[in-house]
Amino acid sequence: MFGFQDKAIYPAAALYEEELAVLREKLAQADAVLVGAGAGLSTAAGLTYGGTRFQKYFADFAEKYGIRDMYTGGFYPFPSPEVYWAWWSRHIYFNRYIDAPSDIYPLLLQLMRDKDYFVLTTNVDHQFQRNGFDKRRLFYTQGDYGLLQSVRPEVAKTYDNREMVESMLEAQGFVRGADGSFDVPSAGKLKMTVPSGLVPKCPDDGRDMMVSLRCDDRFVEDEGWHEAQRRYKEFLRNHEKSRILYLELGVGMNTPVIIKYPFWYYTKQNPQAFYVSINKGGAACLEAIRRRSLCMEEDIGRVLHDLHQDKEAGGVGV
């Protein structure tokens, strides 16, 4: 995608108000916006995988197995399917079936409402749809916590898991509130296992099931995945020569080939395009597109709030 002459750079930060003014202007001028969302966006929205949230829902797993955060816990070799699904039912529910603590996603939606937009994301927590983004404008490349699949990828189908997950939470002792959501009990210990009868089996081949995430070569790209990919490619074709803003939010270098590198390439190929990276601790661009890039080492929430305030005040650019 890039030649040897291409070089990634980390531009020195300018004054925040100057950077924000550039972003306002480019957002106003754009005929279309392609949002690239990484893990940093959900972290900024409060869906953290460590700290207080982890201790609230996984203190018992931390004590027994030495797990220190949700991310590493997802790779732990649990001793049985019953323990495995006790962990994963919690992991799924408290990252997929609850709203993010902050208002970052609604703010982003408000900024996109009058734009021809599309969202490409490696996040699997469903927060875009939970907050009203049009499903037809989303491409979840890496899967969805809300879907299960057979461990045998030849069964190219996925299955909704909410009812199964909630049954597992009840079996562990989580309590359902008046609003229908689950939380930890005020007293008493949680069970760290689920009944064998709740361990999911694929309805098509009878095999064990797994969360449909791109963690190995068994990930299923089902019909819905391919349809989302088709719409994404169509969006790219429709705007390959237009004034498009590539807005990258919280994307690091874990899987740069999905969002970051393509965004750099598309910007380089289209003189009308502009690239923005907002990522506290790692905003970078290609040297070849430096004059058509903005790299903000800022908190995503702060930037979106300030843009939203401008919009509410009738300011230029949003």
Most distant pair of Cα atoms in the chain: their distance: 62
pLDDT level of residue 4 (50, 70, 90 thresholds): very low
How far is C-alpha 266 from the chain's CA centre?
A: 21
Number of domains within the chain:
2
Question: What is d(CA 250, CA 128) in angstroms, rounded to the nearest whole number?
Answer: 14
Domain that holds residue 85: 49-99+162-199
pLDDT level of residue 316 (50, 70, 90 thresholds): very low
What pLDDT is stored for residue 314 in this prediction? 60
* Same structural domain, 93 and 68: yes
What pTM was computed for the model?
0.93
pLDDT level of residue 14 (50, 70, 90 thresholds): confident
At 98-121, the pLDDT tens digits run 999 999 999 999 999 899 999 999
- Write the DSSP assignment of 17-56 as a string of letters: HHHHHHHHHHHHH-SEEEEEE-HHHHHHTT--SSHHHHHH
* Same structural domain, 295 and 262: yes
* Same structural domain, 191 and 95: yes
What pLDDT is stored for residue 315 in this prediction? 54
Return the percentage of the chain with pLDDT > 90, whole number.
87
Is 166 within a domain? yes
* Same structural domain, 193 and 300: no
At 194-221, the pLDDT tens digits run 999 999 999 999 999 999 999 999 999 9
Contacting residues for 197 by C-beta, under 8 A, at least 6 apart: none
Is 244 within a domain? yes
Per-residue pLDDT at 311 exceeds 70: no
* Same structural domain, 107 and 253: yes
Q: What is the mean pLDDT of the chain?
A: 94
Per-residue pLDDT at 3 exceeds 90: no
